[in-house]
Structure 1
């Protein structure tokens, strides 16, 4: 999928849902309280951020889209802070004020980038608290391209069906970030974006890719949805549409620092891209890229238009990352439909060194796409001994996925990749080291279906075992 940044300044998105104030108190900890066995935090910095539906609206504004927000707040200082932040960012706010209930506030005490405590100040809103939402939506529906319902189960979306009906009557798509186990309240929406945990809480556990697809299709039929986007953390995202094959996008390989607000970024970029005229698959691709960026930031955060444009340029239209074996087979079908040549290599890759990097670059030059299959931790222990691996498989895969030469990284639990080779049938099998082509494990399998086998050399004096032995020698 080729990605390019939409003209977000043409997008007009209305967000309706639960708005909250995310408060962060930061400070150092150097002692335990004499009053109780808890750390004492000397607060040196405070930070207030709009959360929930407010964070969705801020993400839209940061992209350059026109963002409006309908929600409920209390008659208090937190509401004033929220309103000031949102308006300063260019978000048009329409708050219904409850005199009896507080603005939803979440206070987090932080020290050394770790969350020590969270305190929630909230009372659930009722239908009476959000009685003006329908009227406000009717007043604005002619001026927006997309409506987003951001549900955090705090009561601000008392009558979803009326809101959905109003938008759909005006032919405006409705995207829902759902909550809870009763998805019937979202029936008739254009698209739902549950995470995997939320999805399985409604349809039951999914033990395979096919089971996930089957249950998603059934849910779309039951709720009369046009599409369903299941966000799956380290396994990426899966888009399901009526009468069309599923589309899976691998997770972007980067360090996960904080997932707070990642769902807000996903639905913001998704809705803004659709509002700017992009197709649903293209919009999901943009949302997937943005999600990989926002988890590298602390707390509720936004992705700006310039940041996203730079990320798109860096991607150069290439989908890459850590995938499951089933997901990889789906990706290979698309790659082969474009005539791309698949190169495969495998190994433990316990400590990535210069030899690996040079070898993988050479392997990539033998085709259009490079798969790196990595031995599981148990497999490495059987092959190398009980002291290995040094790094667990998820970290080894993350490092490999970050290399420019590597397209997909997949793990396997067997001692050899033979079963994986039979399933994937790459055009070229590559191995590094002092082997002959006849000694390469899996070579007969690849040659049997007409593939090629190549042996490449590592750089001199580069060896994982040698590096480990050198470290041990210096530590004695």
Structure 2
């Protein structure tokens, strides 16, 4: 998939800050207090807050501009210079307060302390800023609000209304305990802690869904996205099933700015015509790239494209238990995917098997293969079978590009497994009638389909074994 986020115009509005990093070695404890002494060897300045969101969008190749309130001071000059260096156009409103600075002291890639330099933004400054920016939102395809509760978005409701009047999408990364100011937005993206602060604690996904839909209704939102750290993301839309996206395993060095990356990637993708579900998938990968870096960082379009390519490479999975496979099936079905089930011995894997499985996979989005255990193969095929043991057969099947999940079964038929997993499509090869297929009743009861596929002529494990035996016998006769 070739990604392109350059077509739409995006405006980022929010709290801008300057992130400073002083880093060096730590080899002793101070004699003045029980704290480490850092010998500063490096001094780095980066864009933070809404400016980092804009920087993330720029790194993704998006057409982005930034609106914010900053101070008429040295830090504000540095912010402007860093943005100019990235060719990001700015719409700055200069307030009486100094530009926000955050100074982090690090040693060996670990943050030891953070010092914040900031003063509250005057209400009249925030109102004036909102008045000015409301006049330009009509020039953009999407407005992305980055709220760090520093005051720039005190009058955000005025800007949301301007977006709605102009037919412009508005995405919000929220902050604080008052969400009424976000009413009417297209999407808001609280993390789970922020969501619970507003909607209350929940015990399971059903209660989470109920609370999310109530919040959507009260704020008149089109979408609510809850980011759940290691549990992934949950997208809620009125009158639709929730969409749950699992996070990707990733070495984490620093989560600073990961939320900026998520909202920036979602905004960039959605504004440029990708579906919201695809946008979440891209954001999930981009966040994984960023947390592997130290400090406020971005994911480039090249990095995202490369990771996306790697994620799309096939990695079939041999499920360790039917319970775990059940969870994977349910997750896929919640995402609107159609799960296909087939079964067999697959003793000596040959091209007939591959062609059949490829055809089976085309009946849906995810393919499960249930494989007969060694004992059941022996009962079906005789005492000399299987030729290839169960674990090896499953690993071979999992390596096929058309196969997603492989699981063994030892019963006479896989009916119990089919009824437990509840696939959308049951596929069998051969001269059967649908009602003769084990498990067909369970599939039909759930509104699924049963498909009969033809085996490819000229391919048979038994024939292969017989030819091998004949060849060995002929070689022995020649030697004699």
Q: How does 1:272-351 map to 2 (within 5 A)?
A: 272-316=268-312, 329-332=330-333, 334-336=337-339, 338=364, 340-342=366-368
Q: How does 1:404-443 map to 2 (within 5 A)?
A: 424=421
Contact 1:23 1:107 in 2 (8 A): yes
Distance 1:421 1:182 in 2: 48
Unaligned segments of structure 2, at least 5 residues? 341-363, 372-390, 408-415, 425-438, 444-480
1:57 to 40, 47, 54: 54
Q: In the alignment, which residue of structure 1 is the partner of 2:130?
A: 134
Give 3-state SS (helix, strand or coil) of 2:270's partner. helix
- 1:362-418 CA distance string (max 9 Å, x none): 35248722379xxxxxxxxxxxxxxxxxxxxxxxxxxxxxxxxxxxxxxxxxxxxxx
Contact 1:28 1:41 in 2 (8 A): yes
Question: Compared with structure 1, are the counterparts of its residues 221 and 344 closer, same or farther at alpha carbon in structure 2 (3 Å cutoff)?
Answer: farther
Unaligned segments of structure 1, at least 5 residues? 346-356, 373-418, 428-445, 451-476
Distance 2:156 2:420 in 1: 45
Give 3-state SS (helix, strand or coil) of 1:142's partner. helix
Q: How does 1:93-112 map to 2 (within 5 A)?
A: 93-99=90-96, 101-112=97-108
Contact 1:262 1:294 in 2 (8 A): yes
Give 3-state SS (helix, strand or coil) of 1:153's partner. coil
- 1:16-64 CA distance string (max 9 Å, x none): 1111111110000111111111111000001111111010010111111
Measured after TM superposition, the shift of residue 328 of structure 1 is: 5.5
Question: Compared with structure 1, are the counterparts of its residues 297 and 324 closer, same or farther at alpha carbon in structure 2 (3 Å cutoff)?
Answer: farther
Give 3-state SS (helix, strand or coil) of 2:99's partner. coil
Distance 1:324 1:297 in 2: 33
1:157 to 153, 156, 167: 153
Contact 1:25 1:45 in 2 (8 A): yes
1:170 to 166, 191, 195: 166
Q: How does 1:438-457 map to 2 (within 5 A)?
A: none
Question: Compared with structure 1, are the counterparts of its residues 424 and 361 closer, same or farther at alpha carbon in structure 2 (3 Å cutoff)?
Answer: same
Contact 1:11 1:273 in 2 (8 A): no
- 1:190-225 CA distance string (max 9 Å, x none): 000111111111111121111111111111011000
Give 3-state SS (helix, strand or coil) of 1:310's partner. helix
Distance 1:230 1:68 in 2: 26
Measured after TM superposition, the shift of residue 303 of structure 1 is: 1.0
Measured after TM superposition, the shift of residue 133 of structure 1 is: 2.4
Question: Compared with structure 1, are the counterparts of its residues 325 and 76 closer, same or farther at alpha carbon in structure 2 (3 Å cutoff)?
Answer: farther
Structure 2 residue 235 is the aligned partner of structure 1 residue 242: no
Q: In the alignment, which residue of structure 1 is the partner of 2:16?
A: 19
Contact 2:76 2:99 in 1 (8 A): yes
Q: In the alignment, which residue of structure 1 is the partner of 2:220?
A: 224
Question: Compared with structure 1, are the counterparts of its residues 237 and 132 closer, same or farther at alpha carbon in structure 2 (3 Å cutoff)?
Answer: same
Distance 2:34 2:418 in 1: 55
Give 3-state SS (helix, strand or coil) of 1:9's partner. coil
Distance 1:141 1:332 in 2: 38
1:370 to 405, 412, 415: 405
Q: How does 1:37-48 map to 2 (within 5 A)?
A: 37-48=34-45
Give 3-state SS (helix, strand or coil) of 1:234's partner. helix
Contact 1:249 1:319 in 2 (8 A): no
Question: Compared with structure 1, are the counterparts of its residues 90 and 74 closer, same or farther at alpha carbon in structure 2 (3 Å cutoff)?
Answer: same
Q: What TM-score, normalized to structure 1? A: 0.72
Q: In the alignment, which residue of structure 1 is the partner of 2:5?
A: 8
2:67 to 70, 89, 111: 70
Q: In the alignment, which residue of structure 2 is the partner of 1:187?
A: 183
- 1:107-132 CA distance string (max 9 Å, x none): 11000011111111111213222233
Distance 1:359 1:253 in 2: 27
Give 3-state SS (helix, strand or coil) of 2:242's partner. strand
Higher relative contact order (CA 8 A, sep 6+): 1
More deviation in 4-13 or 227-236?
4-13
Distance 1:319 1:169 in 2: 47
Contact 1:104 1:120 in 2 (8 A): yes
Question: Compared with structure 1, are the counterparts of its residues 425 and 269 closer, same or farther at alpha carbon in structure 2 (3 Å cutoff)?
Answer: same
Question: Compared with structure 1, are the counterparts of its residues 324 and 258 closer, same or farther at alpha carbon in structure 2 (3 Å cutoff)?
Answer: farther
Q: Which runs of 4+ in 1 moved over 6 A?
A: 317-325, 357-360, 419-422, 446-450
Q: In the alignment, which residue of structure 2 is the partner of 1:255?
A: 251
Q: In the alignment, which residue of structure 2 is the partner of 1:350?
A: none
Q: In the alignment, which residue of structure 2 is the partner of 1:117?
A: 113
Q: Which of these two proteins has the greater Rg computed from alpha carbons? A: 2
